[in-house]
């Protein structure tokens, strides 16, 4: 039986929200030229990240309506 240990070395992570696809493309190209990894997140994943951030900030135990959540999600973007 082999025991495999994975070691994850997490580096710094940044998230940049752009207003255009051309800007996103330029930033991804720059990151790759610098030898870094870069990914463009689709809208659903980006919304999930925002939702997770709200959940971390607002741990109150209270229920929030979908309407209020959507309004706050798009306001922060």
Answer yes or no: is 24 within a domain. Answer: no
- pLDDT tens across 30-76, in order? 999 999 888 888 888 878 887 887 777 777 666 667 777 666 655 54
Residue 70, domain extent: 41-77
Positive or negative torsion for Cα 45, 51, 52, 53: positive
Answer yes or no: is 34 within a domain. Answer: no
The overall pTM is greater than 0.75: no
Q: Which residues are within 8 A (CB) of 53 and not within 5 positions of it... i.e. 6 or more apart?
A: none
Counting beta carbons within 10 angstroms of the beta carbon of residue 38, is it exposed (0 to 12), middle (13 to 18) or buried (19 or more)?
middle
Tokens of 14: 């940044």
Answer yes or no: is 56 within a domain. Answer: yes
N-terminal to C-terminal alpha carbon distance within the chain: 50
């Amino acid at each position: 039986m082999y025991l495999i240990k994975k070691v994850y070395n997490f580096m710094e992570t940044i998230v940049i929200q752009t207003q255009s696809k051309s800007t996103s493309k330029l930033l991804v190209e720059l990151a790759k030229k610098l030898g870094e990894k870069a990914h463009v997140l689709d809208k659903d994943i980006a919304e999930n990240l925002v939702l997770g951030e709200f959940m971390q900030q607002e741990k109150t135990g209270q229920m929030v309506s979908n309407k209020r959540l959507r309004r706050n999600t798009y306001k922060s973007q």
